Amino acid sequence: MKKNQNLSSEFSKKESSTMNCKRCGTCCEKGGPGLHQEDRILVDGGRIPARCLFTLRRGELARDNVKGTLAPLTREIIKIKGQAGRWACLFYDQETRECAIYEHRPLECRVLNCRDTRRIQNVYETDRLTRRDLLSTVRGLWELIQDHEAHCSYAKLHALVGEGTNGGRIIQDKTILEILRFDAHVRQLTMQKGGMDGQMLDFIFGRPLADTIKMFDVVLIKDGGTYRLVPR
């Protein structure tokens, strides 16, 4: 936390002389920033509503925008959502090339200089904000998140898919489908019984497994009234 604060202060002092942002929008078009402990005040204070966030869970395949690589995450990342059908940050206005929360933008946005990435590299992997930080005191909800994680972890899915295929059929397809059904059921139950805003689900439970299962080169297909999994 202290490291991030120091870097942020240093950035503020040098911003006018070194940043010289040309407002091309390239950074914002690549997706919303990940959040760090320093950004917690923005979420707690409602500057960045929780419905505007989503969680990339541990083990999920994700792109590292700094390194330009695609790899499974070793820890979860909370990010600002993209716009419908696009990666562009939810708060970015493409027409005006302006940020709707510029005065309260997160740490990664404040330290990013696309012509000198040293500052963003220094903070990118440090002091990441987690669901535990934001939700562990919400009675009942945190226990539900932990239960979901235990049943639907990417480590478990990776192991099941890793058992391979037999005659063109995924050996553990029934078990994998049960996990996907559990994921969908928990989300639906949270809305119906808990009265949760559907826009919050990708933050609370991460992205739906029915969408992310393809990271394992597996495709979920609806066949009549049932679903089946096939290798991609």
Selection from 162, 160, 164 nearest residue 151 by Cα: 160
Calpha distance 211→192 (Å, rounded): 21
Judge contact between 51 and 199, C-beta under 8 A: yes
Q: What is the dihedral of CA 223, 191, 57, 118, to 10 degrees?
A: 120
Residue 37 amino acid letter: Q
- Contact criterion met (CB below 8 Å) for 97 and 25: yes
- Alpha carbon of 129 to those of 94, 109, 206, 223: distances in Å? 27, 15, 14, 40
- CA–CA separation, 154 and 151 (whole Å): 9
Instruction: Output the pTM of the full model.
Output: 0.86
Tens of pLDDT along the chain (232 residues)? 555 555 555 545 444 444 567 778 888 998 999 999 999 999 999 999 999 999 999 999 987 766 777 889 999 999 999 998 888 999 999 999 999 999 999 999 999 887 888 888 889 889 999 999 999 999 899 999 999 999 999 999 999 999 999 988 899 999 999 999 999 999 999 999 999 999 999 999 999 999 999 999 999 998 888 899 999 8
CA 152 to chain centre: 16
SS3 123: helix
Token pair 């990708």 is found at 202
3-state secondary structure of 89: strand
- Cα–Cα distance measured from residue 182 to residue 178, given in angstroms and rounded to the nearest whole number: 6
Q: Please, are residues 144 and 190 in contact by the beta-carbon 8 Å criterion?
A: yes
